Amino acid sequence: MLKVAIFNVLKKNWLLVVAILTVSAVFQYWREHSVSPLMLFLVLLSSIAAGLLVALPVELHKLRNAR
């Protein structure tokens, strides 16, 4: 059930929109301040992880209620 929930979360369009907005904000910040590329990568990974942490319980709840 967890695999199905992860797949459902990743195929949602809003996760892509959040990722695009995060990338845009990070690069805007990077242009104005001196930040290492590794720090940018870590910020992007943490934003993706946060999105999954928010969305996975919702998808798991939907899958449990569908059965």
pLDDT in tens, 21-38: 777 887 787 778 877 778
Instruction: Give the domain extent around 29.
Output: 2-66
What are 35-55's pLDDT values in tens digits?
777 877 787 788 778 877 887
Residue 63, pLDDT above cutoff 70: yes
Q: What is the mean pLDDT of the chain?
A: 78
Domain count for the chain, please give it: 1
Given this model, what pLDDT does residue 47 score?
Answer: 77
Given this model, what pLDDT does residue 6 score?
Answer: 72
Distance CA(23)–CA(17), nearest Å, equals: 10
| CA–CA–CA angle 63, 19, 59 (5° rounding) | 5
Residue 15, pLDDT above cutoff 80: no
